[in-house]
């Protein structure tokens, strides 16, 4: 079986995208379809390469019973060939990815995370909690949790088709 390969992308690959990757994997496993997907995450910036996910987001996740880990890497042009879907956390990440895209096929793989959030209210960003207070991590967690569930539903229902 060919797996659907999904790459989650944010700026640093230490807060939003690693959580997106691991939560998607978790909800897919919970739904009994984990083996159909291969997931990874990356950052558009090189600032945090090799770092583990931000301690504040891991603590937020742990309070909800979700433990995860990983190491940051930077997105590369080859990712646009290697993955079927590339999910950007905000418009800035999406625009950076668009600049990397060389073909229509690559550009068609790019999506905004919140386009799968059933509660998105017009603000299509998963807000970056880096500079705000602790509540920003809870807000981002909730959005990411809803969005990965929405993404899985879109894929499993056939509403979102992968080329
Ligand atoms: P992320 O969050 O893009 O969700 O990993 C950030 C991580 C680092 C920085 C900003 C956002 N930073 O400014 O270093």
Encode pLDDT of 41-50 as tens digits: 999 999 999 9
Q: Which residues line ligand 1 (CB under 6 A)?
A: 10-16, 43, 47-48, 128, 130
Residues shown for the chain: 163
Q: Classify residue 10 by burial, with Cβ atoms within 10 Å: 0-12, 13-18, 19+.
A: buried
Best CA proximity match to 70, nearest among 54, 83, 86: 54
pLDDT of residue 132: 87
pLDDT of residue 47: 97
pLDDT tens figures, 48-73: 999 999 999 999 999 999 999 999 99
133-139: long-range pairs with CB below 8 Å, 24+: 134/56, 134/60, 137/15, 137/56, 137/57, 137/59, 137/60, 138/60
Specify whether 10 is catalytic. yes
C-alpha to C-alpha distance for 61 and 57, rounded to whole angstroms: 6
Pairing of strands 110-112, 4-10: unpaired
Kindly give the parts of the chain with pLDDT less than 50. Answer: none
How many angstroms is it from 115 CA to the middle of ligand 1? 21
**pTM listed for this prediction:** 0.98
pLDDT of residue 29: 98
Rounded percentage of the chain residues whose pLDDT exceeds 90: 95
Neighbours of 139 (CB within 10 A): 14
Query: Structural domains in the chain?
Result: 4-157 (3.40.50.2300)
Residue 134 dihedral angles phi and psi, to the nearest 5°: -65, -25
pLDDT of residue 1: 80
How many angstroms is it from 47 CA to the middle of ligand 1? 9
List residues bridging with 40 in a β-sheet. 7
Neighbours of 47 (CB within 10 A): 13
């Amino acid at each position: 079986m060919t797996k659907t390969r999904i790459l989650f992308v944010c700026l640093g690959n230490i807060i939003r995208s690693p959580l997106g990757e691991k939560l998607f994997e978790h909800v897919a496993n919970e739904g009994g379809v984990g083996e159909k997907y291969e997931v990874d995450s990356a950052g558009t910036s090189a600032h945090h390469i090799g770092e583990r996910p931000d301690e504040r987001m891991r603590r937020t996740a742990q309070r909800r019973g979700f433990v995860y880990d990983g190491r940051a890497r930077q997105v590369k042009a080859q990712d646009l060939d290697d993955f079927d879907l590339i999910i950007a956390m905000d418009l800035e990440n999406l625009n950076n990815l668009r600049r990397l895209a060389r073909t229509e096929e690559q550009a068609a793989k790019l999506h905004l995370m919140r386009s799968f959030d059933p509660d998105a209210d017009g603000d299509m960003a998963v807000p970056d909690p880096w500079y705000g207070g602790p509540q920003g991590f809870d807000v981002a967690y909730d959005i990411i949790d809803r969005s990965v569930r929405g993404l899985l539903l879109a894929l499993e229902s056939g509403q979102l088709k992968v080329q």
